[in-house]
A and B are shown apart, each in its own frame.
Chain A
Amino acid sequence: MTRTAVYVDGGPFMDAVRQMGMSMDMDLMALLKELASDADIVAAHYITAEYPKFPYPAKHRNEKQRLEKFASQGITIHCCQPQIIGSIFVDRGVEALMTTSLIVDAVTGAYETALIVSRRGELSPAIKAVKDLGRTIEVAHFKYDLDPVNPLDAFADKSTVITIDQVIARRISGPKPPALTSI
């Protein structure tokens, strides 16, 4: 069985789940295993910019609790501090963390295959470097009609689209999107 390490780009993943009407209270590890085609997941990393306490105290608190739940599922949480420029949040550090983790873990032989849950094109140099080291790269991502192409697909050995049904199937509690049925 292939030894796979998973790297989740947490901020965009959370936005995808929540803004499409789904719940982040889920069995994320089970979803990642499914996306990795039931490979042997040797490590799962969730990398995100932490939501700032000000002006969002409840969102900050709830995110902390969610991340603790993910940690209890065996996922390693990596938090960066966002930079606030004027009134704009910038997720400083996420790219660097994902890039260095991918490369260091490849060099140390921590995985044979890396599954990257992201659409962040800036990771492509790291992906090329890891492939030069003989590792396999898989990408999983949500697909959006307004921007259907994941720039990482061009560099990956395999690309998987995450579906709403897959996420709902792993839901523990919380909202579900409207059903696409006739009324």
Chain B
Amino acid sequence: MRPQEKIQEVRLLKGTPYTRPQEIDLQFDLINHNWDNRPAAQFLKRYNAHARNVLHSIQDIRIGPRNEERLDVFPAPEPGAPILIFVHGGWWRGGTRKDWSFPALGFSPRGYTVVISDYTLCPHVTVPDITQATRAAVVWAYENAEAINGNRDRLFLAGHSAGGQQAAMIAVTDWTRHGIPADAVKGVVPLSAIFDMRVFQSCWLQPFLQLTGDTVQSESALFNIPDRAPPILIMLGEEESIEFHRQAEVFAEAWRERGHRADYFAVPGEDHSTAVFMLGSAESPVCERMAAFFESC
């Protein structure tokens, strides 16, 4: 190694390919990369309200010790339906399940019971608390499957962005420690997800997340891949930043190296928001691909 290369290596922020926190901020400061954020708010308002208007729902089911740890459920009309739990994003510090009813518009027509989970936000809690809330949602859906017209043997989970990190954590969870079978979750879709949390220790989000050396390890699915795990479908928008692609590619490779199934789909022409907004349309490429994946699990 030449002296210059050694200096460059020393300067990298721990566990990242970056030398300065600003480089990481640039990969993740998504709101500030839009020219106008009002249209996204309009989309969410319009289609969340529509979902709640046209679909039967059971709202605000409390599943955890904190007030926000609740579920909105959109039961399938007929019993025995596959169950899809959806975990919203917002960098662990924003959003509620009420902003994310619209995925039910994509999966209810396909015969799914859709569960929208929720959690208390950072910095009121830490990321492990959020993971615990998501695990509680899985256990609740498994134990109450019949009451929501679901089939507990066809239980799936998807999450977007920070919710994608949660999805990945669900894929690496040992469910026997939570009182349900090891294979309770049949398939997981981390969408635009984070798999290695080390980047956030050096990022603008750290004051909110308060990650420690322990929690970046425990909350990074990349470092917790078990011997037994469900199939995953890693999805992201083709147009997302380089770091989202890096995270997805590294995790897919690690997952496969452990002998697990990792499908991969970069949604052509879509970005961090537009790809997940497709969950509202049953015939969209995102819903098509997810449904095909679930059927194959």
Contacts and interface: CB of A to CB of B under 8 A. Distances in A.
Contact of A87 (B29, B274, B278): B29
A178 B283 CA distance: 9
A25 to B, nearest CB: 8
Given A21-B277, A84-B26, A59 B36 contact: no
B190 interface: no
B25 to A, nearest CB: 4
Q: Classify chain A: how many residues form its interface, as a range.
A: 35 or more
B280 interface: yes
Interface in B253-294: 269-271, 273-274, 277-278, 280-281, 284
Contacts of B238: 58, 62
Contact of A12 (B35, B239, B243): B35
B41 A146 contact: yes
B65 to A, nearest CB: 33
A20 B109 CA distance: 21
Interface stretch (A48-56, A96-104, A131-139): A48-56
A19 B274 contact: yes
Interface stretch (A70-78, A109-117, A151-159, A169-177): A169-177
A151 B278 CA distance: 31
Interface string B234-255: 0000111111000000000000
A55 B284 contact: no
A88 B29 contact: yes
A146 B43 CA distance: 11
Contact of B42 (A20, A57, A59, A62): A20
Nearest to B273: A19
A86 B42 contact: no
Contact of B242 (A54, A62, A178, A179): A54
B102 interface: yes
B108 A183 contact: yes
A146 B42 contact: yes
B43 A62 contact: no
A134 B240 CA distance: 46
Interface of A: 11-12, 14-21, 49, 54-59, 62, 84, 86-89, 91, 142, 144-147, 174-183
29 contacts: A12-B36, A15-B36, A19-B37, A19-B42, A19-B273, A19-B274, A19-B277, A20-B39, A21-B43, A21-B274, A21-B278, A55-B26, A55-B27, A55-B242, A56-B240, A56-B242, A58-B240, A62-B238, A87-B22, A87-B32, A144-B38, A145-B42, A145-B45, A146-B38, A146-B41, A174-B269, A175-B284, A178-B105, A178-B281
Given A19-B34, A57-B242, A86-B22, 12 more contacts: A15-B37, A15-B40, A19-B36, A55-B241, A56-B33, A56-B240, A58-B238, A62-B238, A87-B22, A176-B281, A177-B280, A183-B54
